[in-house]
Amino acid sequence: WGDEGKGKIIDVLTEQADMVVRTQGGNNAGHTVYVGKDKYVLHLIPSGILRSRKQCVIGNGVVLDPIGLVAELDGLAKLGVKVTSGPRGNLFISETAHIVFPWHRELDGLREQNRGANKIGTTKRGIGPTYGDKIARVGLRMIDLVNPERFAVKLKERLKDNNAQIRALGGKPLSYAKI
Active-site residue list: 3, 31
Burial class (CB in 10 A: 0-12, 13-18, 19+), 4: exposed
- What gap in Å lies between CA 56 and CA 19, rounded to an integer? 6
> Angle at which helices 148-168 and 102-114 pack, to 10 degrees?
10
Instruction: Indicate the SS3 state at residue 64.
Output: strand
